[in-house]
Amino acid sequence: MILGLGVFAQVIAVKVKTPAILLLLLIGILVGPVLRALMPEAVLALRPDELLPDLLTPIVGLSVGMILYEGGLTLRFRELRTGAKVITMLVSVGAAVTWVLASLAAVFILKLPWGLALVFGAILTVSGPTVVTPLVRHMRPKGATGSILRWEGIVIDPIGALLAVLVFEAVVAGGAQSAASDVFYGVINTIIWGGGLGLLAGWLMALFIKNYLVPDYLQNAVSFGMVIVTFAVCDSIQKEAGLLATTVMGVYLANQKSADIEHILEFKENLRVLLISSLFVVLAARLELGDLRDLGLSAVFFVLMLILVIRPIAVFFSTIRSRLNWREKVLLSSVAPRGIVAAAIAPVLAYELSDRYPGEADRLAPLMFAVIIGTVMVYGLFSPIVARLLKLADTNPQGILILGGQPWARAIGKKLKSLGVHVMIVDTNYSNTAAAWMDGVPAYHGSVLNDQALDDIELAGIGRFIALTPNDQVNTLAAQKMIRHFERASVYRLPGRQAEEHEEHPEAEGRLLSGPNASYRALTALFGKSGGVLVTDLTPEYTIEDFREERGENAIPLFVLSDAGKLTVVSPKQAIPPQPGQRLISIASNVAQEEDEV
């Protein structure tokens, strides 16, 4: 039931374009404290602590470690070329500033005791890939800000978790000398065991894959098992060191060159969705309705302090003497939601501190969920708006990345560019890319199958990919790869030489462009018959049916451009909207002859 509710919330969140975490927390609260209060004996009333009394905490911790491992698999060192200093400062100086200011705010706004406030402030230094990555994907920020936010969101989690545990141990220890000793040895243990075993596990996994020591069908299972073992061993030596170990393991695998890990990353992405869907529901269901009612306005003021004061100050001190301009700094200040790590750590440490701070410690968990809900809601709603106002992002990019620079592909790019659509052509043939530049169309000489090419190409403003090469295998491989960078619905390719309409899943590797008849050979033949790119205005007097009747097989529609500038790619499962004011863009024969006659 928990998994089903979580996945349902994820689907609904995508449909209504709302952060999934908000719906997951809402469902958790409804099936947990609300349902328990209304119908205490109801079978559907979720009681996580009774369901898994001794296993809930370790399962949550391991799940967080798995999520950070998946996040590490997406981090590339080459992304640090322009943002390494800022990332380092954000996870060090920025974390320290956040800790100090959040602790002070917890004392003076929330009226928490000093020891409890220091622990709470330490937990608030974390952010998390579960909330930052979807937000960055939605905003599509330009320049280095996107990679900076992604790196910070993943790297800060093990650092913040360790800080929270060390501060907790220092508070429990009491004496300054004993506390300093505990913190020192905790940091050393975490770096040695967490970092060392994480590197060793990553190296072993790469070795297994590279030397074919594990069959392909078992590689995901072995990777899963190795993450569990690494996390468990490190966490048994030093609390929360397992989070650093799994993150380091993922980062190592992502940046080594000897083994292909694409299939592992795809599996872990699917696993992450299931884990997040379950964890937020379970953690929210642990709350009590009375605790939520007692939050009051002070919790609202505290969340606003985190968003409007503490985050900007932390970014200011972290970006001193950096190459970021003021707009990029403002955007960084506008993204700092809290996620699964904060939700997982707060209840555990609150329980451990309940004897030392009776009554007060019980406030930590509901306060943390208030912070999560508030920050996710505010940043989710306003960060994309801030990015657009700063002209640093396009949340609905209309641009197209075209693979293939043959004459008719260049003609498509040139025509779209003349209509105001951002176009980039990629080709391994230098003469094709040079000709594209001569036509005024931006082009890149290289292969999209190369990861380096994707880092070099400026994808800002580009939201779709179309593979137009004469090689079916290249088109398919490119579509598979680009699905990782764009939504599957935004990746298109030419139909192959076979009759793909008879295949069971013809669009499994990217959507087909136009239809099964729009093959490379057919488009080339049309263009060779004095053809070109034809732009047709659709009106009430001249509809799409009139166009088809007039042109027949002598034209293949490819795009529809609305009067508002929205570009739609024609595909078999997407009907052409024949509405007045829209423009139909096609490859057609005899275009040059008609233009000469005009």
pLDDT digits (tens, 9 = 90+) for 96-105: 999 999 999 9
Q: Is residue 528 part of a domain?
A: yes
Predicted confidence at residue 168, as pLDDT, reads 84
State the total domains in the chain. 2
pLDDT digits (tens, 9 = 90+) for 202-257: 999 999 998 889 888 888 889 989 999 999 998 888 877 888 889 899 889 988 88
Give yes or no: residues 274 and 423 share one domain. Answer: no
Residue ranges making up the domain that contains 126 = 2-389
Residue 555 pLDDT grade (very low, low, confident, very high; cuts 50, 70, 90) = confident
Predicted confidence at residue 79, as pLDDT, reads 67
Q: Is residue 394 part of a domain?
A: no
Give yes or no: residues 210 and 308 share one domain. Answer: yes
Between 53 and 71, residue with greater pLDDT: 71
Q: Is residue 175 part of a domain?
A: yes
**pLDDT of residue 462 exceeding 70:** yes
Instruction: Identify the H or E element spanning 264.
Output: helix 262-285
Domain end marker among 389, 409, 437: 389
**Which CATH number goes with the domain that contains 281?**
1.20.1530.20
Q: Is residue 465 part of a domain?
A: yes
Predicted confidence at residue 451, as pLDDT, reads 63
Between 43 and 582, residue with greater pLDDT: 582
Give yes or no: residues 294 and 441 share one domain. Answer: no
**pLDDT of residue 506 exceeding 80:** no
Query: What is the secondary structure of 561-583 as a DSSP string?
Result: E-TTS-EEE-BTTB-----TT-E
**pLDDT of residue 469 exceeding 80:** yes
Which residue reads 């899943």 in tokens? Answer: 505
pLDDT digits (tens, 9 = 90+) for 142-171: 778 888 888 898 888 888 888 888 888 888
Q: What's the length of the chain?
A: 598
Alpha helices in 294-395 (DSSP H): 296-305, 311-318, 326-333, 340-352, 364-389
Min mean pLDDT across 31-35, 453-457, 556-560 is at 453-457
Give yes or no: residues 12 and 147 share one domain. Answer: yes
Predicted confidence at residue 30, as pLDDT, reads 84
**Which CATH number goes with the domain that contains 576?**
3.40.50.720
Predicted confidence at residue 499, as pLDDT, reads 44
Tell me the mean pLDDT in the region 310-316.
95
**pLDDT of residue 502 exceeding 50:** no
Tell me the mean pLDDT in the region 68-74.
82
Q: How far apart are CA 381 and CA 337, in angstroms?
A: 11
Give yes or no: residues 372 and 408 share one domain. Answer: no
Predicted confidence at residue 503, as pLDDT, reads 47
Tell me the mean pLDDT in the region 368-385.
87
Pull the structure tokens for residue 501.
Answer: 């309409």
**Beta-carbon neighbour count of residue 302 at 10 Å?**
25
Predicted confidence at residue 303, as pLDDT, reads 93
Give the three-state DSSP class for 205: helix
Q: How far apart are CA 366 and CA 295, in angstroms?
A: 7
Give yes or no: residues 139 and 243 share one domain. Answer: yes
Q: Is residue 556 part of a domain?
A: yes
Predicted confidence at residue 454, as pLDDT, reads 67
Query: What is the secondary structure of 135-194 as a DSSP string?
Result: HHHHH-B-TTHHHHHHHHHHHHHHHHHHHHHHHHHHHHH-SHHHHHHHHHHHHHHIIIII
**Beta-carbon neighbour count of residue 469 at 10 Å?**
22
Give yes or no: residues 287 and 164 share one domain. Answer: yes
Predicted confidence at residue 501, as pLDDT, reads 45
Predicted confidence at residue 500, as pLDDT, reads 47
Q: Answer whether 572's CB lies under 8 Å from 515's CB.
A: yes
pLDDT digits (tens, 9 = 90+) for 73-111: 877 777 676 678 899 999 999 999 999 999 999 999 999
State percent of the chain over pLDDT 90.
23
Give yes or no: residues 454 and 536 share one domain. Answer: yes
Q: Angle at Cα 380 formed by Cα 374 and Cα 383, nearest 5°?
A: 115
Q: Answer whether 303's CB lies under 8 Å from 374's CB.
A: yes
Give yes or no: residues 579 and 544 share one domain. Answer: yes
Q: Is residue 70 part of a domain?
A: yes
Q: Is residue 254 part of a domain?
A: yes
Predicted confidence at residue 425, as pLDDT, reads 93
Q: Answer whether 582's CB lies under 8 Å from 419's CB.
A: no
Q: How far apart are CA 539 and CA 365, in angstroms?
A: 60
Mean pLDDT over each residue of the chain, to the nearest integer: 83
Give whole-number Cα distances, 420 to 503, 567, 578, in Å: 36, 10, 21
- Sheet-wide strand order for 532-537: 532-537, 583-588, 555-561, 567-569
Domain end marker among 389, 410, 429: 389
Give the three-state DSSP class for 511: strand
Give yes or no: residues 529 and 583 share one domain. Answer: yes
Tell me the mean pLDDT in the region 185-191.
80
Within 8 A by CB and 6+ apart from 200, the residues are: none
Domain end marker among 337, 364, 389: 389
Give the three-state DSSP class for 359: coil
Predicted confidence at residue 285, as pLDDT, reads 81
Give yes or no: residues 212 and 271 share one domain. Answer: yes
Q: What are phi and psi of 395, to 5 degrees?
A: -75, -15
Residue 22 pLDDT grade (very low, low, confident, very high; cuts 50, 70, 90) = confident
Q: What are phi and psi of 403, to 5 degrees?
A: -95, 115
pLDDT digits (tens, 9 = 90+) for 333-376: 999 998 878 888 888 888 888 888 888 888 888 898 889 888 98
Q: Pairing state of beta strands 555-561 and 567-569? A: antiparallel
Burial class of residue 502 in the structure, from the number of CB atoms within 10 Å of its CB (0-12 exposed, 13-18 middle, 19+ buried): exposed
Give yes or no: residues 17 and 120 share one domain. Answer: yes
